[in-house]
Structures are given as structure tokens and as C-alpha cells.
Amino acid sequence: GESVGLHLPTLSVQEGDNSIINCAYSNSASDYFIWYKQESGKGPQFIIDIRSNMDKRQGQRVTVLLNKTVKHLSLQIAATQPGDSAVYFCAVLMTGFQKLVFGTGTRLLVSP
């Protein structure tokens, strides 16, 4: 099986700072990783994904880093804005299996 954990339940940052949210997974056969953002009262919103054949992927203001050696991934948000305040989940999957396993979530609080 797979278990996924996040390192911090809450992360508080100032507007304009860079934010880093971390996630650890247990199964070395996991090969697809997704970050979701969930705002209050809404469904999870896809942010960025990465496959195990990569160690870094960049999007708009977001970067995902994957370290397969220690089974760790992180989401970096540049120039964090108040609109980034939400709960962030990492989710992990093995190719061929349809079950996403979610981490426990980190609440990002951005203060002006």
C-alpha cells in the first residue's frame, strides 16, 4: 500500500514571501504525483503534477520538486498572494492503479 504524510498542518507566510509545502510518501513504486489546492467550500483544484522520471517541474509561480531517493516531494509557491490561502494536498498514484492516495493536507495562511 501507500501512505502519504505532510510535514506541517499549517504554514503561515507574509504576502510576497515564497512558500514551501512538503510531502513524504512510503511506496517507492509510486510514480505519479499531483498537488491540489482546496479553498473553503470548494473541490480540490489541480495545480501541477510530476512523474517519477523527472525531479523538477515548473508552472506559473509554482514548482514541484521530487526526490525519489528519500521519497519526498515539495510544492514551492513564489511571491505568495492572499489568494493562495487554502489547504494544499499532495496525492500519489502508481501507474496502472486508479487510486490516488492523498496526504493529510497543509493549510497555507497568507497575511498581508
Partner 1 sequence: DTEVTQTPKHLVMGMTNKKSLKCEQHMGHRAMYWYKQKAKKPPELMFVYSYEKLSINESVPSRFSPECPNSSLLNLHLHALQPEDSALYLCASSPPNRETQYFGPGTRLLVL
Q: Which is nearer to partner 1, 42 or 112 (CB)?
A: 42
Q: 3-state DSSP call for residue 47?
A: strand
Residue 15 or residue 102: which is nearer to partner 1 going by CB? 102
Residues that bind partner 1 (CB under 8 A): 32, 34, 36, 41-46, 49, 89, 91, 93, 95, 98-100, 102-105
- Least gap, CB of 79 to partner 1 (angstroms): 26
Sheet strands side by side (includes 19-25): 4-6, 19-25, 72-77, 62-67, 56-58
